[in-house]
Chain A
Amino acid sequence: MKQKSIKGSRNVATILTYVFLILGSAIMIFPFLWMILTSLKSLAESTQIPPTIFPAVPYFSNFADALTSLPFANLYVNTILMVLARVICAIVFSSMAGYAFAKLNFKGKNLLFTLILVQMMMPSQIFVIPQYEMLASVSMTESIFALVFPGLVSAFGTFFLRQAYLGIPNEIGEAAYLDGCNQWQAFTKVMLPLTGTSVAALTIFTAVFAYADLMWPLVVNTDINLMTLSSGLATLKGQFMTNYPVLMAGSLFAMVPMLILYLIFQRQFIEGIALTGGK
């Protein structure tokens, strides 16, 4: 009898777990669904009261309108170039510095590492005005380089990859020396390949945050052809104040690249973020 009631309460708990998870998932997915549904409605249908759920007739010209009012081809290229450049810079420079901080001894190491730690604690907004002024003083705003600029080096990446190198036993590096490698070869041929998981996590972390960044691209590039997907979308909002079907179509265009990557590398995304978490 008692056995049965324990089993019963466990079943109730399981059912409640599923109910909560499914309800939560519905709330998480609904805005995306609504975005797609609205993007397929005519302006008149989208403002019908009471609202229709599914479009009476799928209406595709919102996508055409979004494409003609924003240079999406440029936005895609700019965003991809910015993300790619920031990722490459973060990986190359942070790998080098992370390796050095973990495995080499040099003068001022502790002081220099303190510089890394202190930078990590400061919010990026404190740098924005002078960073902008620096670019403006050499007339380099309104360029792809300007988009990349604040991400040329990564204190967080250095810290994160240092952790990865600390986890590799010193004997492996020493073995490389005995086999006749010099310092640089030991790093590039032996140590670097061992940090694959961490490099992948840093890649995802850097890409996700660069892609989401809004204030910097908005400030530094005001030419519509040099904007990113995020800042371009902010401009579209100004143009189509209340034409939500077009705005939804534009938002879908902006979301698609990262969503496709997420669908393919879903596990790596989540585990990468969990690994870099606590930033």
Chain B
Amino acid sequence: MVAPTIIGLLVLNYYPLIQTIILSFSKTKTFGAMEFNGLNNYIDMFQSPEFWKATWNTILFCILTVPVGIILALLVAILLNAKVKFKGGFRAIYFLPMVCAPAAIAMVWRWMFNGEYGIINAILGVKINWLTNPQTAIIACAIVAIWSSIGYDAVLLLSGLQGISKSYYEAARIDGAGRIKQFFSITLPMISPTLFVTLIMRMMASLKVYDLIYMMVDQSNPVLPDVQSLMYLFYREAFVAGNKGYASAIVVWTILLIGIVTVVQFIGQKKWVNYDV
């Protein structure tokens, strides 16, 4: 009964995994033929400013989106966990971006961030070329990413919050602890395992970001080098430029990066995640 799944995994995932690693040590020749060329792809990659810029963009995107996104999601989750009317409606509204294709979402945000006619400039009374200015393009992408992920993360955190017994809060109230004190000594420690899972998941997703930036910033946009993520660079190298070997080296590097960040998170969690509940 496990045969279809296992055969599928071997053909669709494990064989490609090995192929990608082999490819990263190979050179693409005409007609898709491959030739072993040792570490050359990696040497080229580490000497490429475009590659380092993309690595930095990816990390910067992660820094811009993850902390703010998680804090806002936690805030929304806490507010939704309070006694509010129309709770289901609010939850449904915050969750909305999750069921819309990122391609469609990016399209309307491109329009809203438009430098000449965009509504965002009109509301703020400024004239910023959000998506054609190297400094602001990644910020605009980060805002869209945060907007898209709040509802999803809030739903995950909300399910964690609902698991906290009300009796803790009653006891705290009898002891005279205020709301802020209650948050730091009850809510935060009790929700830390859920928070940790959400954080890991969100970090992995933002290190792999591709579709949003691809839709927001065209390949012909001059700011591309200042916003392109590793996966965007990977896509262009593999399927636009046809350098499959070099692209494989990029994807191997990205996976190492994700692996390192995840391991660091797992080591760091011992300091703040509370499992003795």
Contacts and interface: CB of A to CB of B under 8 A. Distances in A.
A214 B210 contact: yes
A34 B147 CA distance: 15
Nearest to A276: B156
Interface stretch (A55-63, A173-181, A263-271): A263-271
Contacts of A14: 82
A221 to B, nearest CB: 12
Nearest to B20: A126
Contacts of B25: none
Give the secondary structure class of A's interface. helix
Contacts of B155: 270, 273-274, 277
A262 B99 contact: yes
- Interface of chain B, main secondary structure: helix
B28 to A, nearest CB: 10
- Indicate the member of B75, B90, B107, B112 with the most A CB atoms within 10 Å: B107
B187 to A, nearest CB: 15
A123 B215 contact: no
B32 interface: yes
B255 to A, nearest CB: 6
A277 B159 contact: yes
A93 B8 contact: yes
Given A25-B93, A122-B17, A230-B103, A215 B119 contact: no
A119 B9 contact: yes
A99 B4 CA distance: 13
Contact of B12 (A18, A150, A252, A266): A150
B90 A21 contact: yes
Contacts of A230: 101-104, 211
A117 B248 CA distance: 23
B171 interface: no
A208 B97 CA distance: 11
Residue among B12, B88, B95 with most chain A CB within 10 A: B12
A104 B2 CA distance: 10
A198 interface: no
A196 to B, nearest CB: 19
Interface string B74-106: 011001101010001011111111111111110
Quick one: which of A13, A125, A230 has the most chain B CB within 10 A?
A: A125
Contact of A133 (B32, B96, B198, B252): B32
Contacts of A273: 95, 98, 152, 155
B208 interface: yes
B109 A31 contact: yes
A51 B8 CA distance: 53
A211 B263 CA distance: 31
B4 A269 contact: no
Contacts of A34: 108, 111-112, 119
B235 interface: yes
Nearest to B201: A278
A21 B158 CA distance: 14
B97 A28 contact: yes
Contact of A96 (B4, B96, B255): B4
B99 A259 contact: yes
B166 to A, nearest CB: 16
B185 interface: no
Given A18-B84, A270-B91, A237 B5 contact: no
B45 interface: no
Contact of A129 (B1, B19, B201, B254): B19
B100 A258 contact: yes
Contacts of B255: 122-123, 126
B122 interface: yes
Interface string A1-39: 000000000000110011011001101110110110010
B117 A46 contact: yes
B23 interface: yes
Given A49-B116, A128-B16, A133-B19, 5 more contacts: A47-B116, A125-B251, A230-B104, A247-B111, A251-B107
26 contacts: A17-B79, A21-B90, A31-B109, A31-B112, A34-B119, A35-B111, A48-B117, A97-B5, A112-B6, A122-B255, A123-B255, A126-B20, A127-B20, A128-B251, A129-B251, A152-B8, A214-B211, A233-B103, A234-B103, A244-B114, A247-B111, A255-B104, A269-B98, A269-B99, A273-B155, A274-B156
The 10 closest A-B pairs by CB, nearest first: A153-B8, A130-B16, A130-B19, A97-B5, A100-B1, A214-B211, A251-B104, A127-B16, A277-B156, A96-B1
Interface of B: 1-2, 4-6, 8-17, 19-20, 23, 32, 75-76, 79-80, 82, 84, 88, 90-105, 107-109, 111-112, 114, 116-117, 119, 122, 147, 150-152, 155-156, 158-159, 179, 197-198, 201, 204, 208, 210-211, 214-215, 218, 231, 234-235, 238-239, 244, 247-248, 251-252, 254-255, 258
